[in-house]
């Protein structure tokens, strides 16, 4: 009899242990089980797995909750697909393929919600977006923000002792606090303020004057409602491999002598509902990185700039492309802004990249002059290159 009781106790303990192992991350809700069809909104981070082990992938529309889609499964039971509770799934969203890379996490489901995976909050803008004859916003006041994305007053200032790592799938909500680390100048090699891993989200953050090298995005990531009071070395750098997207939406950046967003990875960089003032460039694909190459894809939509010399710079020899829609220039002077500047990129140690000219409506520069609205005395450069610029 005693043996039976002991065996029963072991069985109950095993069942209790299994019950504690969740089939979804903390803060997530299951949308379908393994081998069933799920549907989510655009650019949503989906967790796949069981027993506190998950693979995260950025998906859109309909997909099958399966190992074939996510690249891995957890043995021993039925895996589940789940999304953050704040994410709305929809069966009406058209299916789109995702090429994001999975990341397996073993963070316990009892972890705080700040370490849960969450969906990317902004929609991806496709290169097939219809051309617009004017910006979708009215004339903003000087020194303002993108309408609806105004910077709040900081609730407090936080001095970080070291880079804050945002782990895979984590949502870091800065609660509109101002964050500083170090530096703030243009020196190369500064550490990032935030190091965002695959599927991570940074939102509601104000970055102060000691911005160091801003935000590093190592894979699929979302930067949502983030404002740079000073750009520092770079506001953010896209470092993810091919198939990943750094999505920047609803924010602003000020006072940068060179690039605002640096693009060193091989995926895509999407910028929308954003305002930049006093900078050399809005975005630049790397001109002379180690093992440099491409292609890289830039998508710019609903952006206002003031006194920014160049909107995007891309390397046509590496196959980079830029799609620009609903761009508004609100400059203080008559200097001509370069909209899509093309370069010949190089591998580090092989000289310097060279500027080739400005392009409109070419395979690399998907932008027309009527995609740009000029306010006040603003002007854009339309004569630096007629059509495609050949690479010597």
Position with higher pLDDT, 228 vs 91: 228
Q: What pLDDT is stored for residue 134 in this prediction?
A: 35
% the chain with pLDDT above 90: 53
In whole angstroms, give the CA distance from residue 283 to residue 285.
7
pLDDT tens sequence across 200-256: 999 999 999 988 889 999 999 999 999 999 998 899 999 999 999 999 999 999 988
Q: What pLDDT is stored for residue 385 in this prediction?
A: 60
CB 339 within 8 A of CB 311: yes
Closest by alpha carbon to 96, among 245, 295, 218?
245
Among 19-33, 51-65, 136-150, 162-176, the range of highest mean pLDDT: 162-176
Question: At 357, phi and psi to the nearest 5?
Answer: 140, -175
Global pTM? 0.65
pLDDT tens sequence across 72-83: 899 989 999 988
pLDDT tens sequence across 295-320: 999 999 999 999 999 999 999 999 99
In whole angstroms, give the CA distance from residue 28 to residue 199.
14
Closest by alpha carbon to 57, among 90, 95, 27, 97?
97
pLDDT tens sequence across 123-158: 333 333 333 333 344 444 545 789 899 999 999 999
The yes-or-no verdict on residue 87 having pLDDT over 60 is no
- In a 13 Å sphere around the CA of 294, the CA atoms on its Cβ side amount to 26
* pLDDT band at residue 275 under the 50/70/90 scheme: very high
Q: What is the mean pLDDT of the chain?
A: 79
Cα separations (Å) of 11 from 5, 18, 252?
A: 10, 11, 57
In whole angstroms, give the CA distance from residue 245 to residue 298.
10
Position with higher pLDDT, 107 vs 327: 327
The yes-or-no verdict on residue 70 having pLDDT over 70 is yes
């Amino acid at each position: 009899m005693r043996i039976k009781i002991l065996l029963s106790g072991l069985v109950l303990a095993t069942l209790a242990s299994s019950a504690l192992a969740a089939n979804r991350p903390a803060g997530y809700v299951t949308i379908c089980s393994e081998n069933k069809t799920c549907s989510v909104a655009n650019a949503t981070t989906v967790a796949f797995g069981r027993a506190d082990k998950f693979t995260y992938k950025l998906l859109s529309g309909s997909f099958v909750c399966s190992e074939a889609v996510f690249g891995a499964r957890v043995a021993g039971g039925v895996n589940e697909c789940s999304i953050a509770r704040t994410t709305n799934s929809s069966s009406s969203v058209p299916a789109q393929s995702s090429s994001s890379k999975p990341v397996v996490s073993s963070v316990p489901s009892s972890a705080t919600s700040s370490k849960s995976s969450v969906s990317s909050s902004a929609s991806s803008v496709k290169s097939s977006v219809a051309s617009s004859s004017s910006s979708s916003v009215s004339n903003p006041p000087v020194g303002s923000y993108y309408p609806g994305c105004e910077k709040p007053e900081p609730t407090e200032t936080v001095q970080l002792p070291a880079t804050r790592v945002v782990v895979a799938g984590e949502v870091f909500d800065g609660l509109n606090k101002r964050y500083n680390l170090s530096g703030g100048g243009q020196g190369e090699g500064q550490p990032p303020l935030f190091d965002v891993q695959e599927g991570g989200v940074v939102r509601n953050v104000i970055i102060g004057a000691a911005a160091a090298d801003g935000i590093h995005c190592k894979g699929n990531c979302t930067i949502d409602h983030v404002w740079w009071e000073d750009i520092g070395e770079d506001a953010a750098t896209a470092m993810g491999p091919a198939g990943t997207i750094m999505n920047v939406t609803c924010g602003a950046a000020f006072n940068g002598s060179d690039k605002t967003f640096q693009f060193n990875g091989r995926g895509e960089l999407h910028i929308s509902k954003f305002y930049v003032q006093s900078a050399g460039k809005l975005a630049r694909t790397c001109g002379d990185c180690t093992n440099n190459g491409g292609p890289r894809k830039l998508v710019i939509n609903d952006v206002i700039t003031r006194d920014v010399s160049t909107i995007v710079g891309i390397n046509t020899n590496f196959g980079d492309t830029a799609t620009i829609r609903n761009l508004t220039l609100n400059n203080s002077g008559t200097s001509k802004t370069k909209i899509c500047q093309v370069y010949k990129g190089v591998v580090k140690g092989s000289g310097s990249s060279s500027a080739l000219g400005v392009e409109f409506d070419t395979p690399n520069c998907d932008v027309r002059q009527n995609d740009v609205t000029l306010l006040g005395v603003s002007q854009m450069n339309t004569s630096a290159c007629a059509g495609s610029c050949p690479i010597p």
